[in-house]
Structure 1
Amino acid sequence: MKGTVLGFDTLTGEGVILNDQDVRYSFSKTNWREALAPMKGQRVDFEPWGTMANNVFLDVQVASPAADISFAEAIRSCFRKVTDFQGRSRRKEYWYFRIFVIFCSILSSLISHDLRHNGGVVIGLLGIASFFAWIYLFVVDLSVSVRRLHDSGRSGWWVLLYFTIIGIIPLFIMMCFDTDPRINKWGYPAK
């Protein structure tokens, strides 16, 4: 029987599934047959046993290819997930954001070069605004980098290589690896 997880309490180890006929079934962590804890909204396949769900598995469907992500969608996704250091991000999302940061650097350099010859308060205010914008971009960059490492099956702590001169090269190589197709401790594959 198929259904959707309505909720799961990790403290008690109990949850509720709503099947496709709108009947609720309770289940416990002993009935859950997957490595990762159940999450609200997951589609599952289970055996009903009275009002209990037994042998609860994730619903395996034929995987369709991931929808292609556009440049604008990737940038929006990165900004939306600025505080998400736990999930996974596709390779395309990471590299599109990297291109966006390079574009911003070039644009910022051109604007500051033109304005540098004009002194005044406007230059100071633009400098302060630019500083905070770069801090924000740095945090977004860290979060998408950590999620990208998670997607290739690596710990996000590898991102600390950014702060070494020689570590940038192996880190960029790690960012080129393909998505780990298995479910890992950071969630489902990004594509």
Structure 2
Amino acid sequence: MKGTVLGFDVQTGEGVILNDQDVRYAFSKMNWRDTLAPMKGQRVDFEPWGTMANNVFLDIQFGQFTSLPAADMSFTDAVRSCFRRATDFQGRSRRKEYWYFRIFGILCSIVISMISSDFRHGGGGIVALLGIAAFFAWLYLFVVDLSVSVRRLHDTGRSGWWVLLYFTVIGTIPVLIMMCFDTDYRINKWGYPAK
């Protein structure tokens, strides 16, 4: 049976699922069978057992791992979510997650450039090691940024291929405008709305 997690209390280890026929089922941490922690808004598949939900799994049919509701997503939650979903190019991400990660990327670039300019004046092998480390850090941030950009486009109802416009000089502006659009509240081929 399919449903949506209405809420989960980490301290008590108990939560509630609403199935597609608007019937509520309680579940506990012992009934949760997925590696990701239960969170509000996740689509799940479960076995009803009276008023309890047993063998609860994330519904992987939609390829989405929703995060916290939009009002509850902090800067650190958004950045963690982006790193956790670094290779997920199929799901959807809300505006807050995208823009928080964009700010995080800018801050990282500033810090890396300040550190490398300090070490450049020192010279030696440390500069080479720092350069290599900075390159791999930048490469990882690029992949994470690319994946959250694709998911953000999916959330607005557009194909992730639009992200290729980033690599053109004039295409950056239309893509940034697309990133500002609100969530498409319809279910699309990339899953349920991110908020």
When the two structures are superposed, what TM-score results if normalisation uses the length of structure 1? 0.69
Which digits, 9 at most, give the CA deviation of each residue in 1:72-121, with x for residues without a partner? Answer: 00000000000100000010000000000110111111111111111111
Q: Superposition pairs for residues 155-174 of structure 1, below 5 Å?
A: 155-174=159-178
Supply the distance in 1 between the matched residues of 2:58 and 2:49 (Cα, whole angstroms): 13
- Name the residue aligned to 1:71: 75
Supply the distance in 2 between the matched residues of 1:142 and 1:66 (Cα, whole angstroms): 21
Q: Which has the larger radius of gyration?
A: 1
Structure 1 residues 122 and 66, CA gap change in structure 2 (3 angstroms)? closer
1:66 deviation in Å?
4.3
Structure 1: unaligned runs, 5 residues or longer: 5-15, 24-38, 43-64
Which digits, 9 at most, give the CA deviation of each residue in 1:121-155, with x for residues without a partner? Answer: 11100100100000000000000000000000000
- Alignment of 1:134 with 2:138, yes or no, is yes
User: Which of 139, 152, 156 is the matching residue for 2:156?
Assistant: 152
Amino acid at match of 1:70: S
- Name the residue aligned to 1:18: 47
2:70–2:94 contact (8 Å) kept in structure 1: no
Identity of aligned residues (%): 71
1:158–1:171 contact (8 Å) kept in structure 2: yes
Supply the distance in 2 between the matched residues of 1:147 and 1:140 (Cα, whole angstroms): 11
Supply the distance in 1 between the matched residues of 2:58 and 2:24 (Cα, whole angstroms): 9
Amino acid at match of 2:100: Y
User: What RMSD, in angstroms, separates the aligned Cα atoms of the two structures?
Assistant: 2.5
Higher fraction of helix: 2
1:79–1:140 contact (8 Å) kept in structure 2: yes
1:68 deviation in Å?
2.1
- Name the residue aligned to 1:94: 98
- Alignment of 1:119 with 2:123, yes or no, is yes
- Name the residue aligned to 1:30: none
1:18 deviation in Å?
2.5
1:179–1:189 contact (8 Å) kept in structure 2: yes
Q: How many residues align?
A: 145
Structure 1 segments of 4 or more deviating over 6 A?
none
